[in-house]
Amino acid sequence: MKLLSLTLAALLLLSQLTPGSTQKCWNLHGRCRQKCSRKERIYVYCTNNKLCCVKPKYQPREKLWSS
C-alpha cells in the first residue's frame, strides 16, 4: 500500500513539472514563449521577459480616427 501511494505521489509531481507547459497571457489567448510560431505574432511581453505569442484573430485591431 505504501508503494502504491508513493508511486501515485511521484506521478502527480511529475505531471506538474512537464517542460511543455507554458504560461498563458493576453486574456488566456496567448502563450509566453522564447520564439513565436509562424501563425502567431508578438503583441506584448510576459512578466518573465518572454514573448506573448498571440494568433492575429485575438489581437485588437487598430481604430482609424476619422476627421
More confident residue, 49 or 64: 49
Q: State pLDDT tens for residues 30-46.
A: 999 999 999 999 988 99
**Residue ranges of the alpha helices (H) in 1-67?**
2-16
pLDDT for 15 equals 58
First to last CA, the chain: 76
CA distance 45 to 16: 24
- pTM equals 0.57
Cα torsion at 45, 51, 56, 58 (round to 10°)?
-50
pLDDT for 22 equals 74
Q: Write the CA distances from 2 to 9, 14, 38, integer angstroms.
A: 11, 18, 48
